[in-house]
Structure 1
Amino acid sequence: MSVRLIVRSLSELCITVGALIILFVLYVLFWTGVKAAGATEGEIDTLRNRWAQGEVSVPAPGPGPEASPAPDLVPTAPDYRDGKPFAMMYIPRLGRSWEWPVLENTEVKTLQKGLGHYAGTARLGATGNFAVAGHRRTYGDPFKDFPRLREGDAVVLTDGTTWFTYRIAGKPYRTVPGDTAVIDPVPRRSGFDGPGRYLTLTTCEPEWGSSHRLIAWAHLDATQPVTDGRPAAFHS
């Protein structure tokens, strides 16, 4: 084999590899976002149609703006349906247009359509830890700006009947994927020292990797019926 043939073959191989890398980057940066946008809109439409027809989960009562926490009621509605949306989440700190559906479970296919509720953690607004995961990058980049979260930031959710406003307890905490204690009923290292109505948000760290996790904890601050309009947290 001549040197010229070897050089040409290596050149063609480099071009092929380079093209594959470019296609992969385009898929990650562009196509997953396109897929996520369509899937997310579909889940949001499903939720709104369900709510319009009166199909909602029974809300767990919580503290109103001037109220103290009330005891949990025994839910009479079915459990959250696996892989299906049941709530919407809004985080004003991350942008006025930031809104994502919350679906039941954290499987790969679920997180491609929105945020995922850790099965087995508390229901929305209930005593315990309502824990939610989301992609940092790809599939719409829901938690791209996760490190911007600060103490006092609002995380607002609705199940179609009630607004739940949680308040972030501190800056995001960095840990490893195996640290499951961060979604315990009283999450480890959260600063919470007893039972309460908590929210845990989790995402990947670093931004384009998954060797670690970023965690944000919050506590339930207020609730109000959706018929009263959007909570003040949207305007603060």
Structure 2
Amino acid sequence: MPKITALILAKNEESNIRDCIESVQFADEVLVIDDFSTDSTKEIAESMGARVLQRSMNGDWGGQQTFAIQNAASEWVLFIDADERISGPLAEEILEVVKRGEKCAYWIMRENKFHHNQATHGVLRPDYVNRLFPAAGSYVTGYVHPTIVTPYPNKKLNHIMYHYTYDNWDQYLNKLNNYTRLAAEKYKEQNKKCSFIKDVMFRPLWAFIKVYFLNLGFLDGKMGWVLSVNHYFYTMNKYVKLYYLYKDNGKL
């Protein structure tokens, strides 16, 4: 039977790494690429039998994921984030499709969860992510939102994985700030145009309307409203940063 390596990219994930690794115990190897954590992420992972390689990400998710693929010992790789969990039925399905030997890139439905709240529409509606595929010929491109490139046909699995999104609002807002900065820098590198009226004033409004009304964020009550408004500000800040990168290199 072809073997599977579960790949986890981590940095300061001591609160998540144990549960994450426990959810992929069906894999033949667990490989953690640690971005020089300053907490006990590395020690916890190693205590659970994972192989840990340390490498600085420097904001390059695609490069870090490609490095992980290249260092996997197995024919198949399964990407999982430290704050994600493979469900029991999904683990069985993964073993079954790998056993069949049909080389495909398998997409998995991810259900977002909070520890104490619920939101299943709008920004946090379930989405499919490409996570299981043969390592040979596969690599990843992109910084903020990387794209997995494989020579294999795409298929979807039936069972779900869980994504525990955020522990607190500080973590949420710090991520929003970091992602808007990286997105603006990426857009500038691509010479993406930015109009103050179109992109800073009106694009965020459309982003809110889309997630709150069209994607049914209003069905999630108070949390749906908060997340939709934050999506408005995420979109606005992304283009504000881009606009001022062009105008005065981001300086105020």
Instruction: Tell me whether the two structures share a fold, i.e. TM-score over 0.5.
Output: no
Report the TM range for the smaller structure's normalisation: under 0.3
Please report the TM-score for the alignment, with normalisation by the length of structure 1.
Answer: 0.26
User: Which structure features the higher share of helix residues?
Assistant: 2
